[in-house]
Structure 1
Amino acid sequence: MPNIALELGKQSASFGVTSAYGEQQDVDGVRLIPVAITWSGFGGGSDEAGNGGGGGGGWTVPLGAYIRKGDDLRFEPNLVSLVAVAIPFVFFAGRALSRVIRALKK
């Protein structure tokens, strides 16, 4: 029986930037290098009778891409992901700040 952990590790290498964006591309002398944050996890086990099982999952957040044109390199963010992350961050940061201010007034 092959080592399941090694097989899952090999398969998880295809997660991430490749699954969110694909490989880097060269278009009209401009190189696009995708950037993403990924997370994955797997688990498995068996009982005394030899019945086993496992599973896994993960997620990928496409952040944007580096654009290289000649010697110029700049980062272009993915605005949809930026807004999706910024809205909850601003909400909870505002709530925390209001509680800190309220505690300092006492």
Structure 2
Amino acid sequence: MPNIALELGKQSASFGVKSAYGETVDVDGVSVTPVALAITGFGGGEMDGQGDGGGGGGVAVPLGVYVRREEGLRFEPNLIVLLTVAVPFVWVAGRALSRVIRALKK
């Protein structure tokens, strides 16, 4: 039986920069490189001699793309992800600010 930890180690060697930055694609003279936030995790163990197991998972959130044109290199964010992150942040910041103002009024 192969060692699961060694197999996971071999497979996870390709994570990191390769999972955060995609392959560069040329489209109509413009070079585009996708960028993502990639998170992975693995686990395994044995439960009181009853058996062993393991698993893993991951998620990748597309942050945007690097676009290289004749003018230079520029990062263009993914607006949907930006809004998904910004809306809860603005809500929490507004709530915190209202509590600070309420505390200063006392």
The residue aligned with 1:91 is 91
Greater alpha carbon shift after TM alignment, 95-104 vs 9-18: 9-18
The residue aligned with 2:82 is 82
For residues 28-51 of structure 1, what are the alpha-carbon distances to aligned partners after superposition, in whole Å with 9 as ceiling and x for unaligned? 221101111121111100134361
Whole-Å separation in 2 of the counterparts to 1:10 and 1:83: 36
Deviation of 1:58 after TM superposition, in Å, equals 2.0
The residue aligned with 1:67 is 67
After TM superposition, the structure 1 = structure 2 runs for residues 30-41 of structure 1, keeping only pairs within 5 Å, are: 30-41=30-41
SS of the residue corresponding to residue 66 of structure 1 reads strand
For residues 4-41 of structure 1, what are the alpha-carbon distances to aligned partners after superposition, in whole Å with 9 as ceiling and x for unaligned? 234224434358446xxx52211222110111112111
Q: Give unmatched runs, 5+ long, in structure 1.
A: none
TM-score (norm 2): 0.80
Q: Which amino acid aligns with 1:66?
A: Y
Label 1:95 to 1:6 Cα distance change in 2 as closer, same or farther (>3 A): farther
The residue aligned with 1:58 is 58
The residue aligned with 2:2 is 2
Q: What fraction of aligned residue pairs are identical, expressed as a percent?
A: 64
Whole-Å separation in 1 of the counterparts to 2:71 and 2:3: 45
Length, aligned pairs only? 103
Q: Which runs of 4+ in 1 moved over 3 A?
A: 9-18
- Is 1:27 aligned with 2:27? yes
Q: Give unmatched runs, 5+ long, in structure 2.
A: none
Aligned CA-pair RMSD: 2.3
Q: Determine which structure has greater relative contact order: mean sequence separation of CA pairs < 8 Å that are 6+ residues apart, divided by chain length.
A: 1
